Amino acid sequence: MTTTMRAVDIKGDTGPATSLFISSSAPKPTASPGQAVVKIKAFGLNRMDLLQREGHYPLPPQAPKTLGVEFSGTIETLGPDVKEGFKVGDEVFGLAYGGAYAEYIAVSSHMLLHKPAHLSWEEAAGVPETWITATQAMYLVGDFQAGQSILWHAGASSVSIAGIQLSKAAGASAIYVTAGSQEKIDFCVKELGATAGFNYKTQDWAKEILSLTNGKGVDLTIDFVGQSYFQQNLDVAARDGRIVNLGAMSGTKLATAGVDIGAFIRKRVRYEGSSLRSRDEEYQGRLRDRLQEYLPRFEDGTFKIYVDKVLPWEEIVEAHQLMERNTSKGKIICTVD
């Protein structure tokens, strides 16, 4: 039995997209208690992969060196004490702390789900991180309630695509988005059902939303941008509004001069940062169980999985460069032969 496998590696440990390559000498994982080894069919790309590749992502201690947190495939072996209901040969998809850019991955069976027959390998690989992150932001952190309004920044990103659909199904009073092109805004509004969208390159989205809401603002904002949106997020927050920060694409350091934090007191705004990857298995498992409840909605068409591009993993450099261009609407997926 072979002890090595192919996996995506990084020349010099960190670097640009062009530093990615497929190594043929990575150690093949084995299943510890409670784990399954899955032969990977496809894996999804996430923005954290770009940050990790560049050396800017703080990895949790249990994360392996290899990139990738979501995947689909078949169970090859099972360790002792696995979650009931899984057997060798099962088609599954799931979430991991890392290691998905590879032929095989060892992962807790608590983070696996059976792949429904109506989902392709590519679709299934793009579900776990995306839908679990959106669920965490809305409910576990953002305390979303039916009848509230919500703003999703990066509206055509995979997490916000899931979030818009979740918000609509949960009875949001209004769903607003920001995006960088009219094409993306039209996609969010006409295809996904958002109430309105704003081009952050050409519009003052905070003023537009305040105008539309007669000055009330929004109850919940989900932000991936950070520094450059900090003031506007406070401005657009409704009384008792919540802002959930999941990323800092524009940077993390504020220029304090001119920043008005009065909304924290005047409007009782709550601003909270969060991440999923650093959470323990019990926390992630609760979200995995919530995801399982969504599966019938994928089948009946209530929820849709949007895959923008599928590439063979031999084109991993091109896949990362595509994500860096910020032109995609939905998931970028790589398949493993």
Q: Could you tell me if 281 and 260 lie in one domain?
A: no
Binning the chain into helix, strand and coil, the percentages to the nearest 5 are 30, 25, 40
Distance, in Å, from the CA atom of 67 to the CA atom of 111, rounded to the nearest integer, reads 17
CB atoms within 10 A of CB 11: 12
Residues 163 and 59 placed together within one structural domain of the fold: no
Residue 201 and residue 74 share a domain:
no
Q: Is there a single domain that holds both residue 177 and residue 245? A: yes
Residues 94 and 158 in one domain: no
The token duo for 134 is 């959106």
Q: What is the pLDDT of residue 248?
A: 82
CATH code for the domain of 104: 3.90.180.10
Residues 11 and 101 in one domain: yes
| Residue 263: predicted pLDDT | 94
Pick the last residue of a domain from 249, 273, 297.
273
> Tell me: the pLDDT tens digits for 252-286?
788 766 889 999 999 999 999 998 888 988 999 89
> In the chain, which stretches have pLDDT less than 70?
1, 256-257
Q: Which residues of 154-168 are buried (b: 16+ CB within 10 A; e: fewer)?
A: bbbbbbbbbbbbbbb
Amino acid present at 312? P
Task: Count how many domains the chain has.
Answer: 2
Residue 329 in tokens: 């609407």
So what's the pLDDT on residue 256? 66
The pTM assigned to this predicted structure is 0.93
Residue type, 211: S
Q: What is the pLDDT of residue 58?
A: 85
Residue 223: give its domain's CATH number. Answer: 3.40.50.720
Cα–Cα nearest to 236, from 219, 261, 257, 256 = 219
Q: Whole-angstrom Cα distance, residue 333 to residue 96? A: 16
Model confidence over 46-68: pLDDT tens digits?
999 999 999 998 888 888 999 99
Quick one: CA dihedral 79, 83, 85, 89, positive or negative?
Answer: negative
Same domain, yes or no: 239 and 107: no
What range does the domain containing 226 cover? 131-273
Q: What one-character-per-residue DSSP string does 240-267 give?
A: EEEEEE---TT-S----TT---THHHHS
Domain boundary among 227, 257, 273: 273
